[in-house]
Amino acid sequence: MKKFIEDLRQELKKRHMASNTIEDIIKDHEEMIAAAKEEGMSEAEIIKKFGDPKKLAEELASDMTESDLDTDFDEEKEEEPASHDDFILYQSYVPEEDFVKFLFNLVSDDMTVKVSDDESIKVYYKKIKNISKYEIDFKHQELTIKAPKYVGFVFNLSRGDGAFLVEIPKRLTISNYKQSSVNADITLNDQNVKIFDLNSTNGDITVARCKLGQTKWNTVNGDVNISESTIDEVIATHVSGDLEIKDTVILHDLKLNTVSGDVKVENSVCNHLDISTVSGDVHGKEFYPRSVELRSVSGDIRIKNHENKPIEIIRKKSLSGTIVIEHD
């Protein structure tokens, strides 16, 4: 019944009811639900009795007087929290379990995922002219956000200013985060993710203070920045974007293939480092892998540490680049 109550609350907000009126309505319905449960009614029977939250909100709004309405709203925006930098709330969802899945396919719209201040998943957006063309839904613990397709199923590849913000309760674990993006930046803060899978073209990826399990990304012309995180393992491919890892623990392997992108790793550790670069340079400072496989065509690979910890060199090969592991 939590989902029914939250959906009703959001539908009432869309009809610009005053906050005190909304809370009175919610309180009345919570009391009626409690009474129905005491009479032995099941949740399915209660939901059937009250009906669809949208239709219920429409019926309640039709009986409202002017004093029940919020007269201070901006007609162009359903909701615009000052603390969210002009983002508009699209919808809130109440998860029934502690695990959720995310599936995002976006073009020219940035995505930020951060911690919510309550127990609901909130989807915000800004600078998107027609949000109704997007596929946005939360079913079976999976949040889906997909950009509209155009004639012939060809995406509009021009860079836009649109953006999504998704907030989720801190207690939740993202069992699978999968995103494909073109011309879109991705930011993930303070999240616990079991499987993290990204494909990005012309967009930057930023991860901070996260706990990630199996992690994989493929980028073209986009930078990746990882900081203050713990990751089980990383398998990554870069064409021309740079990678920076700072203050991060990688419990198992860091496997990276880069063409021309540079790599910088600082104050971090991993079990096994496997890097292949064509012309990109690799710089490690206070970076402590236990074993390494280093391959380069023309890019330089240099790892310089203060502590003289042993690093097993399994393979080291370069055509014209320099490969150096040294200690101060």
Residue-wise pLDDT for 280-306, tens only, equals 999 999 999 999 999 999 999 999 999
In the chain, where are the structural domains located? 2-68, 76-190, 204-328
Q: Is the pLDDT of residue 128 over 80?
A: yes
State the Cα–Cα distance between residues 242 and 111, nearest whole angstrom: 20
Residue scoring higher pLDDT (307 or 36): 307
State the Cα–Cα distance between residues 130 and 88, nearest whole angstrom: 13
Task: Classify 38 in phi/psi space as left (phi over 0), alpha (psi -120 to 50) or beta.
Answer: alpha
pLDDT at res. 197: 98
Q: Is the pLDDT of residue 239 over 80?
A: yes
State the Cα–Cα distance between residues 190 and 24, nearest whole angstrom: 35
Number of residues that make up the chain: 328
pTM of the predicted structure, to 2 decimals: 0.72
Q: Is the pLDDT of residue 92 over 70?
A: yes
Average pLDDT along the chain: 87
pLDDT at res. 295: 96
What is the largest distance, in Å, between two alpha-carbon atoms of the chain? 80
Cβ proximity of 129 and 88 under 8 Å: no
Hey, is 174 helix, strand or coil?
strand
Q: Is the pLDDT of residue 42 over 90?
A: no
Residue scoring higher pLDDT (302 or 76): 302
Strands 142-146 and 135-139 turn out to be antiparallel
Task: Classify 202 in phi/psi space as left (phi over 0), alpha (psi -120 to 50) or beta.
Answer: left
pLDDT at res. 143: 97
